Amino acid sequence: MTGRAALGAGAALAAAALGATAFAPAGAGAAARGAVPAGRPAPLVAFAGGFVRGRTEAQRTASYRRLRAMGVRAIRIDFRWIEVEPVGAPLHDYRWRALDSEVRAIRRADLKVLGILDYGHPDYSRAGGEAYRRGQQGAPPFGVGDPQYFPVDDPRSFARYAAAVARRYRGQVIGWEVWNEENGGWRFWEPKEDPLAYGRLLCATNAALKRVDRNVPVVFGGLFFPPLGGKIGTGGARFLAQTLDRGGRGIGACFDAVAYHPYPYPFTSPEAQAQDRGSVAGAASQLRSVLQRRGLRSKALWNTEVGWPTNPRGNGVTEARQARYAARLQLLSWALRVPVLTWYAWGDYSDPGDQNQEAHFGFFRADASAKPARRALVVLKRELGGRGWRYVANRTRALGMPRGRRGVGEGFALEFLAPRGRRLVALWYANERPPAGSNPFARVEPGTPPRSIAVRMRPDTASGVRVVDVLGRRVPVLRTRGGNLHLRVGQDPLYVTWRAG
């Protein structure tokens, strides 16, 4: 199911025929009295801790505080086995100093930790140990072939390490991901992904973690969603299905949530469906279908990595497009019942040849100056970050916005409600067209021209209406005597706010 289908976009109408609609949402009376309205609360926004600027603990705390100001509440970091238990050291001789410092830096910024328990260890893996003894090193930029990426021979050895980590950091972690992108065997589960072996590791680790603290969610390791080019690795939905089907009836009890990484290769909009992978927003629906068919519909979906690189010469997007996509996906995630959304990554790093996409995912540039995407999240926090905001309805159909096809030429109107009658409708028009072919590294920019459509709406109040764009700039609107607002809506979201009369 695509993101559009999951949200129930309205019928396709020509822009000239769009009518005005007055809003009278369910629950408005309770909201006006100050009660928390019915609806869906905001997702927890997290950030990947990679490439955070700062050499000292104090400097890194300062960098994390910049994220806190953007509405971020958790940092996703690796608890790499080989960094805690050095290769060749006495078994189970753990060295915690570096991780202790990083966790302190995060906690001093008033943030929580989302922990990744990863990866293998040459001292506990025949294949990994052999690669280590040969002096094999991971090939940049992804580290393919690194000895730590070979799985352990006995899942119980990994589970023992996981339990030691959980005891050390009890009370500071919101969830434990078990491994990372294990469906990409070419990189993180060498030499090839293995759903049965991963399922055994997951169940052994879940049991060990629950003995330490039953209240911390155990999360199925982040699934890299699209197989590159449809061939390299196993797609996220397929790997999840294979793990559940091969692991037996009890495997559903071995995790509380499923993590996924819906990177948009090629780097298209959140809504556009590309060949071989569907859409970024629609990835949640694909995974949810796998769970529902196996009686696991209550399992949550956590997006624990996603982003768009602003690579000027490679296959990235412009900084302006990164900002609008970040805002749109955060809004869509709220509407699509994704309770955790994790952005990748804090900042860029030096890339003299402008060919390494990994160096350009940041919301801050290599000199630590902020990109527009940082401002887009600050504005979202200001507009929808207050206490009690809920997503209540998709108003696309009510406003007669275009339905489009495969996430192109499609309008969106999402309504949010807060106590005491505060209202917000987020509007945008997704018309960015993906490349025709299936090359995952295709260049998308410059893409579809930034068209806009006409939208009319009538808030249920005569005054106090405010409209700002994705970067917080006030937008002048034409209002008729009948109370209709006349808006031009394009790829950048507009936020229309008022207090119900």
The H or E element containing residue 303 is strand 300-306
Q: What is the pLDDT of residue 229?
A: 63
Q: At 158, phi and psi to the nearest 5?
A: -65, -40
pLDDT at 315 over 90: no
Q: What is the pLDDT of residue 8?
A: 38
Using alpha carbons, select from 249, 228, 270 the residue that is nearest to residue 410.
270
How far apart are the C-alpha atoms of 75 and 354, rounded to whole Å? 27
pLDDT at 36 over 70: no
pLDDT at 119 over 60: yes
Share above pLDDT 70 across residues of the chain, in percent, rounded to a whole number: 91
Sign of CA dihedral 91, 97, 98, 102: positive
pLDDT at 371 over 60: yes
Q: What secondary structure does DSSP assign to 316-376, as a single string?
A: ---HHHHHHHHHHHHHHHHHTT--EEEES-SB----TTS--GGGG--SB-TTSPBPHHHHH
Using alpha carbons, select from 275, 252, 281, 332 the residue that is nearest to residue 43.
332
How far apart are the C-alpha atoms of 310 and 360, rounded to whole Å? 5
How far apart are the C-alpha atoms of 321 and 269, rounded to whole Å? 9
pLDDT band at 446 (very low <50, low <70, confident <90, very high): low
pLDDT band at 31 (very low <50, low <70, confident <90, very high): low
pLDDT in tens, 408-431: 999 999 999 999 889 999 999 999
373, 377, 383, 385 alpha-carbon torsion, rounded to 10°: 180
How far apart are the C-alpha atoms of 227 and 149, rounded to whole Å? 18
pLDDT at 41 over 60: yes
Residue 250 DSSP SS3 = helix
Mean pLDDT across 50-73: 96
- CB 129 within 8 Å of CB 122: yes
pLDDT in tens, 375-410: 999 999 999 999 999 999 999 999 999 999 999 999
Cis peptide before 368 (omega within 30 of 0): no
How far apart are the C-alpha atoms of 315 and 434, rounded to whole Å? 12
Mean pLDDT across 250-263: 97
pLDDT band at 248 (very low <50, low <70, confident <90, very high): confident
- Within 8 A by CB and 6+ apart from 356, the residues are 141, 311, 314
How far apart are the C-alpha atoms of 21 and 456, rounded to whole Å? 7
Mean pLDDT across 434-441: 78
pLDDT at 65 over 70: yes
Mean pLDDT across 177-202: 96
User: For the stretch 82-113, what's the b/e string if a residue is b when 16 or more beta carbons lie within 10 angstroms of its beta carbon?
Assistant: bebbeeeeeeeeeeeeebeebbebbbebebbb
pTM of the model: 0.93
Q: What is the pLDDT of residue 26?
A: 44
Cis peptide before 226 (omega within 30 of 0): no
Residue with the larger pLDDT of the pair 90 and 36 = 90
